[in-house]
Every structure is written in structure tokens, then in C-alpha cells.
Structure 1
Amino acid sequence: MTQVIHHLIERYGLIAVFLGCVAEGESAAILGGFFAHQHVFVIWQALLAAFLGAFVGDTFFFFLGHSFAEHRWVRRLRRRPGFNHAYRLVRKHPNIFVLSNRYIYGMRLVGGVASGLSGIPVWRFVLLNALSSLVWALLFGTLGYVFGLGAEQIIGRALLHHQRLLIALGIGLAVVIVAALVAHYIAKRERVKETD
């Protein structure tokens, strides 16, 4: 079973890192770095997949807001908790918002749509988003790589390769659960703020 998992990660792992980073992807970028440390991926490939996923995801949601403001998906995203707050921020500080939106968990989707609706020129958004996505991919991919070094020291070199992969999957699952709990808490807090 572990050989099958190992084979799937080797074959489709970079695609999973890319897709994970399209949306709310810190855990995907961290796992990409971790697997690069385990020599499943080459580090530059993991970082590139994380960068492209982050850039494509944010740009997609920007163009949704920019070009399809009245589409039902965009209207639905505009009703999500935090949209009004994101829209106010992007109107007030557009450059800072675009550079920092990727780091605010739970706001990326609505932040991208808010950016598209705010009137930021496309060229400016693309440049700022590329810079933000690059820094983000380097930060979280390197964190996963360094975490791989630390995990290897803690767990010890005696573990077999497939056991390390299972531990990495467990760590990834833990990161996803914690991120979901944090997002739920932030969304709940935003709903309370919007009703006040």
C-alpha cells in the first residue's frame, strides 16, 4: 500500500501541489517543500508548482470579479463573510491589499474578486500578484523543506522512506484541519462584525 502511495505522490504530487495552491494552499506548499526534502520532488519544481498555483488562483478570481461581476458565482462570492471588509481594504490600499491578500487565510477567494471589482488596472494586479505569489511560494515551500530537515532529526534516519511519506501525509492532514478551524473562526468573527 505504501508503495502505491509513494508512486502516486511521485507521479501526481506536483499537480496536487499546484491545485492545492490555487485556492487556500499553505499546506500544499509546505508539503511540496517537505517532499522535496525527502527527494520525492526537486525543490525548484515544488516551488514552481506552488508559485504557479498561487498566481493562477488569485488571477482567476481577479478576472472573475473584473470581467464577470454579475455572474451568479461572483454574486455568491460577494455574499461570503469578509467580502465587504476585503472590498473596503482594496479600495483604500490597493497595492498593499494585493501584496498581502494571499497571506490572509480565508480571504483569498473573496479578496481576488474584490480586487477585480475595485478598478485596479489589470497590469498592476498581475505584477503585484506575481511578486506576492513568488514570495509566498518561497516562504511556505522553504518552510516545508526546513521542516523536513527538523522532522528527520526528530524522527531519526532509521525510518524507512515510505514511513516518512506517511508521516508527511499525517502532518499535511493536521495542517489542513488546523487551517480549516482557523478559517471557520475567522469567518464566524466576520459574520458577527457584519451584523453589528
Structure 2
Amino acid sequence: MTHTIHQLIEEYGLIAVFLGCLAEGESVAILAGFFAHQHVFIPWQAFATAFLGAFAGDTGFFVVGRSFADHPWTTRMRNRPGFSHAYSLVRQHPNAFVLGNRFIYGMRLVGGIAAGLSGISLPRFVVLNVISSAIWAALFCAIGYVFGLGAEQVVGRTLVHHERLLIALAVGLVVAVAAFLLAHHVAKRERKHGP
């Protein structure tokens, strides 16, 4: 079973990294770095795929906010926790907001839409988003790569592919659960205290 999963990761893993990085994606980028260390992915391909997914996702949310401001889905996003705060921040500090939004878990979706509604020009957004996505992809892929080095030191160089896969999946699960709990806590606090 783990051999089949390992083979699927080798064949379709970069597609999964791209899709996973479209929205939040920290755990996916960390896994990409881990698999790069384990020689499942080539390191530059893991970085490039995470970068392209992050860039495409943020740009997509920006375009939705810009082009479909009155669409019912966009209206629902405006009512989500964090939107009013994101919109206020992007109006006050547009450059800093676009550069930092990708690093704020749980705000990326509403932040991208808020940026699209804020009046930032598309060329300005794209330049800032390229910088932000590149830093984000490098940081989280590097965390995964360094974790791979640490796992190799702790478990030993005799670690077989199947055990590496299970460790990577466990790391991804822990990161995803921690990020979900953090986002849930922030949303709950905001609903209680208001924006």
C-alpha cells in the first residue's frame, strides 16, 4: 500500500503541491521541501511549483474581488470573519498587506478578495505578489527540507522510502491540524470581540 502511495506521489505529487498551494498550503509546501530532501522531487521543482501555486491562488482571489465584486460568492466572502479587518489593513497599508497576507493563515482568501476590492492596480499587485509568493515558497519548502535533514539524523540514514512517506504524511497532518486550530481560534475570537 505505501509503495503505491509513494509511486503516486512521485508521479502526481507536484500537481498536488500546486493545487494545495493555491489557497493556504503551508503544510503542502513543507511536504514539498521534505520530499525534495528525500529525492522524490527535485528541489527547484518543489520550490517552483509551490511558488506558482501560491502566486496563482493569490492572483485568482484578487481578480475575483476586482472583477466579481457583486457576485453572491464574493458577497459571502465579505461577511466572513476577518474580511473587514483585512479590508481596513489593505486600504491603510496596501504594499505591506499584499506582501504579508500570504503569511497570515486563515486570512489569505478574504485578504486576496479585499485587495481586489481595494483599488490596488493589477500590475502593482502582481509585482508584490511575486515577491511575497517567492519568499513564502522558499521559507516553507526550506522548513520541509531542513525537517528532512533532521529526520535523517534522528532516524538514521537507513530510513527506507516507506518510512519516509509515513513521516512526511504525519508532519503534513500535524501542520494542517495546528493551522486549522489556529485559524479557528482567531475566527472565534474575532466573532466574540468584533473586528
Paired with 1:117 and 1:192, the residues of 2 have a C-alpha distance of 26
* Per-residue Cα deviation, 1:103-162 (whole angstroms, up to 9, x for no partner): 001000000000000000110001100110001001111111111001111111222111
Alignment gaps of 5+ in structure 2: none
Where 2:102 maps in the other structure, the secondary structure is helix
| TM-score with structure 1 setting the length | 0.98
Fraction of identical pairs, as percent: 68
| Aligned match of 1:138 | 138
1:174 aligns to 2:174 (yes or no): yes
When structure 1 is superposed on structure 2, of 164-173 and 58-67 the one drifting more is: 164-173
Aligned residue runs from structure 1 range 65-80, under 5 A:
65-80=65-80
| TM-score with structure 2 setting the length | 0.98
Structure 1 runs, 4 residues or longer, greater than 6 Å off: none
When structure 1 is superposed on structure 2, of 168-177 and 111-120 the one drifting more is: 168-177
Paired with 1:193 and 1:138, the residues of 2 have a C-alpha distance of 35
Where 2:97 maps in the other structure, the secondary structure is helix
Paired with 1:179 and 1:3, the residues of 2 have a C-alpha distance of 29
| Aligned match of 1:8 | 8
Aligned residue runs from structure 1 range 1-196, under 5 A:
1-194=1-194
Paired with 2:23 and 2:87, the residues of 1 have a C-alpha distance of 19
> Which amino acid letter does the alignment assign opposite residue 153 of structure 1?
Q
CA shift for structure 1 position 163: 1.0
What is the aligned residue count?
Answer: 195
CA RMSD of aligned residues (A): 0.9
Paired with 1:49 and 1:73, the residues of 2 have a C-alpha distance of 28
CA shift for structure 1 position 193: 2.5
Alignment gaps of 5+ in structure 1: none
